[in-house]
Structures are given as C-alpha cells and as structure tokens.
Amino acid sequence: MTSGTLERATALPALQLGSLTVDPAVVLAPMAGITNPAFRTLCREFGAGLYVCEMITTRALVERNEKTLQMVRATPGEADAFSVQLYGVAPATVGRAVEMLVDEQVAGTRPAHIDLNFGCPVPKVTRKGGGSALPWRRVLFRDIVRAAVAAARDVPVTVKTRIGIDAEHVTYLEAGAIAQDEGAAGITLHGRTADQLYSGTADWSHIARLVEHVDIPVLGNGDLWEADDALRMVAETGCAGVVVGRGCLGRPWLFGDLAAAFAGDTRRVLPTLREVAVIMHRHATLLSAEQGELHGCTDFRKHVAWYLKGFSVGSDVRRALAMVSGLDELAGLLDRIPDQPYPEAVLGAPRGRTSPPRPVALPQGWLDDRDDPRPPAGAELPVSGG
C-alpha cells in the first residue's frame, strides 16, 4: 500500500484499564449491525487495541435469547481483547448479565472488558430511560454501575456517555465522578449531547474538562475520521485513548494508521482501489464464514458504498455490487473496476449516519426527580432488541 506522511508525530502510552493493558490505546466502538465477529477480526488484523461487540441488551442476555447469545460469543483470536458493551436500565438485570459473562462465560471465554452504554441517543432507547437519558437519574446510574462492577470482579468495567441530554441537562461531569466512586476503570465521552444525535461537530472541550475532573482514564470519542484527528484530540484534551466508530466504516486500515500515529510514526496508508478490493473481498469472506455465503454477502452490501467512497466507479457496477450474493460474483465485479489511487479528497470527511438535531424522547416525568432510583415501568427493551 502507498503511504502518505503527516508533519505531526507523537507517542501515546498504552491505556491501562484496571489489569487490562490496551496497546495501542485505540478502541473499536460498538456499532449495531457492524461490529460483528467478521468486522472485529478485520480491525484486529489492522491493529486496533480493543474490539467491542455490538451493544447487548441485558434483559435479552439474562433470558438467554439465542440471537443475543450468538452475538456475544468471542472468536478464538480475540479472547485476550474481547469486549462486551451492555445496555440496561435495571441494576439487578445488569448485574446478572455481568455475572453470566464473567462466571458462566456465556461468550465462550471470560471477557477482557465490559462497557456500559449510557451514550446511545436513539429514540427507542432514550424513551425507555436508557442510553444517554439515564445519567440524568443519578441514583439509578450509580446503582447500575455499582451492580456491574461488583459482579465483574476483576474484569474492568467502563462507562460510555454523552455530554448530557441537551444543553440544559448536562450530566457528564457528575456521571464521571459517580463512575469513578463506584469503581469504574474508565469513562468514554462522546462530545455531543443526545439531542444532537450525529449532527454538527463534536465539542472536544468537554473531554478536556472531564480529564481534569476525574482520576480514572478518559477516552475521547466523536469525529475521529483520520489518525491526525486522534493526535489532535489527545493534544487538545489530554485523553488517555480514543474510541473510533464511524471513521472506520469502509476503512478498517484506519486502525493501522492510529497504531502508527500513537507510536510516533508519521506514515499513513493510502491504499489503491485494487488494494481496497482485496480488503473488501476479505471482509465478505469473513462474513460468509460466519453467516454462510449468501447471508454474508448480503450483509456485506451495506459496506460497499463506504469502501468505494470517492473512487470513480460506474453506476452499473455500483448497482451490481449493491445486489451481490456470492464471493466469486463479488470478485468479478471488483475486477471490472480500473485501479486508481486513493481519493485523498475524502480524507477527513464524515462517514456513516448523519441526522439533524431533534428533541430527545424521554419517559413521562423523567426530568422531575433526579434521585428517583426506579427505572420506568416497562423500561427494558424487548428481547428482540438484543
């Protein structure tokens, strides 16, 4: 692969989360429908430090929903760095889910790390009082973190959150202090409020404030499109590591760039289209091994536009790739595209979902009493949400 260079170079030490060392200090963020075993394997091959599976609903795990049990299983190659992110609004259910992961090892191995989701802004989660809505109920938040840490024993537990519900209901500093007091090993902050969803620009100044406010490691998240963005975030905020989500869509080699950047290396990978095609086929092959060829290639279709962003590809080939159903068919279609250098014009450009800001859906009366320890009636997502 060809390489570009950046003038800025730095080195970031390994991230320490309890007894777990994450080196490089780079975490693959959980993304629904994306961070399955195939994608985690691909990112691991390029150099991520910790790989988080798709968000797991604690109720579904406790009820041993078969789909959820499949989602939570580690692959043989990731046993020493397998991470599970849990969503839940009831302390007892969260505690039981952690027990199952740690003591029963329902993932096929003991997870190296457990993360608690208090950052999801989507309405189906927040209207149940979960995700980024939950830290507003500080006693309930405390009880959930306490239950998870107690059940996890020596497995480090971290929390992921946003700045708050909106500009009038900011929660991250208090949530960070509570998480630290309850024994969390670290906290990730996405530099947006819930009502911003994925619009606008992440405000990293809040990450810097949180670093000053707590003693546990703070990881930064939001608008990390290139390795240089991560270097700038570390320089501006003092965060101990970064969590990468949308920036790696169609660009798993970003983790190699991040590993190089945090080692002080200025080289960056700029793959040609032929090299990207090899990665695309590898991705589809991993999905096919996991799900069967037809389902794997069908699942791969959503990645095509991300991989090909900025490349000159005919509309007929793009349409065919959007309907691909076999690995040989995929290889044949990719071979039809002339090789070309990486389109540097797309570097630093947002990837994945964007959405305009909108008011956060909340349970009735959710903002009335911050010290109410009870989750809303019927607050757990249905088992099918796992």
Residues designated as active site: 120
Q: Is the peptide bond before 91 cis (omega within 30 degrees of 0)?
A: no
User: What phi-psi label fits residue 223: left (phi over 0), alpha (psi between -120 and 50 degrees) or beta?
Assistant: left
β-partners of residue 221 are 190, 243
CA atoms within 13 A on the CB side of 58: 28
**Cβ burial, residue 233 (10 Å; 0-12/13-18/19+):** buried
With contact defined as beta carbons under 8 Å apart, do 323 and 294 qualify? no
| Distance, CA of 346 to CA of 348 (rounded, Å) | 6
| Distance, CA of 278 to CA of 231 (rounded, Å) | 28
At 26 the three-state DSSP class reads strand
With contact defined as beta carbons under 8 Å apart, do 64 and 273 qualify? no
With contact defined as beta carbons under 8 Å apart, do 243 and 27 qualify? yes
β-partners of residue 263 are 11
Which of 42, 175, 75, 60 shows the shortest CA–CA distance to 118?
175
- Whose tokens are 């501006």? That residue is 236
Which of 113, 118, 92, 91 shows the shortest CA–CA distance to 102?
113
